């Protein structure tokens, strides 16, 4: 892209799909200011394909200056794809906050939880921050909400391999937990048996969904994980955060939905791999 050119220059071109309006777009943001995942390129390719299936215009960038009111007014969903560290300045943060408060949608993938530790609005949006992780290994995932668009295609017990984050806290009290890890199925869980790995909520007028998978390149070629991502996008584009209580194994485990209570400052972990 030429210096000074905007990735939104051709945003309003017709996608050729009748499923959404021509101006609808999906912003894939993968800027890193810390650890950089080597799976980002595969993730972008995956989301390009999924977005095309949904009839969305695709914008993939690491240029934070796109976070302004003019550009975001044309965006249906923003994806933080393995972002890390402090990636937006104060002006860009304000534009993103306004976007969410005006009904915008956000999907956070994996290291989106290793991002913006000092931004209070984002702290509530993401739900929980990264703390640590064990080695890449197989684990068993318990699907807690079985008829949600992001999970309805998945087996009730889903076995897959990835890098499994331990978070600074369980977000269960403030979000709808979609899926959680069985800590008996892998080593190094570190969350005392309550280990959410995907969740969603309505937040400050907008919608947010976070999924902890997506560290490995292979993740973005897995049919079930891709279906999970596509379903996440479908929910963000069309649905609200209220689950069907009849679809939960334990209705008491789903938690409430709303802005997360702001806690003390979070110590930023040091990533080495």
Residue 48 CB-density burial (10 A; 0-12 exposed, 13-18 middle, 19+ buried): middle
Is the pLDDT at 254 greater than 90, yes or no?
Answer: no
- Looking at residue 9, what is its pLDDT? 56
CA angle 188, 131, 234 (to 5 degrees): 95
The H-or-E segment that residue 76 falls in is: strand 75-81
Residues 1-60: pLDDT tens digits?
A: 444 445 565 433 333 332 333 348 999 999 999 999 999 999 999 999 999 999 999 999
Mean pLDDT of 117-143: 98
Is the pLDDT at 246 greater than 60, yes or no?
Answer: no
Provide the token pair at 63. Answer: 């240029």
Please give the domain boundaries of the chain with CATH numbers for all domains. 25-253 (3.40.50.880)
Tell if the pTM clears 0.85, that is, is over it. Answer: no
**How many DSSP H helices and E strands does the chain contain?**
5, 11
Task: Calculate the average pLDDT of the chain.
Answer: 85
């Amino acid at each position: 892209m030429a210096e000074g050119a905007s990735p939104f220059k051709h945003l309003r071109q017709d996608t050729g799909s009748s499923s959404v309006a021509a101006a609808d777009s999906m912003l894939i943001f993968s800027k890193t200011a810390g650890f950089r995942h080597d799976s980002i390129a595969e993730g972008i390719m995956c989301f390009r394909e999924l977005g095309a299936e949904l009839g969305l215009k695709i914008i993939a960038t690491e240029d934070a200056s796109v976070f302004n009111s003019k550009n975001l007014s044309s965006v249906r969903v923003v994806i933080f794809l393995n972002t890390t560290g402090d990636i937006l300045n104060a002006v860009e943060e304000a534009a993103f906050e306004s976007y969410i408060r005006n009904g915008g949608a956000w999907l956070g993938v994996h290291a989106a939880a290793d991002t913006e530790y000092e931004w209070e609005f984002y702290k509530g949006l993401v739900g929980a921050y990264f703390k640590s992780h064990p080695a890449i290994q197989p684990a068993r995932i318990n699907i807690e909400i079985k008829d949600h668009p992001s999970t309805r295609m998945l087996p009730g017990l889903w076995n897959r391999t990835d890098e499994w984050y331990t978070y600074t806290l369980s977000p269960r009290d403030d979000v709808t937990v979609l899926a959680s890890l069985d800590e008996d199925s892998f080593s190094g869980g570190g969350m005392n048996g309550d280990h959410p790995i995907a969740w969603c909520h309505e937040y400050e007028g907008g919608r947010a969904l976070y999924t902890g998978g997506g560290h490995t390149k292979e993740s973005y070629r897995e049919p079930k994980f891709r279906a999970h991502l596509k379903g996440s996008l479908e929910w963000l584009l069309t649905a609200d955060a209220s689950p069907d209580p009849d679809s939960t194994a334990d209705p008491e485990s789903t938690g409430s939905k709303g802005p997360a209570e702001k806690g003390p400052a979070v110590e930023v972990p040091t990533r080495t791999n």
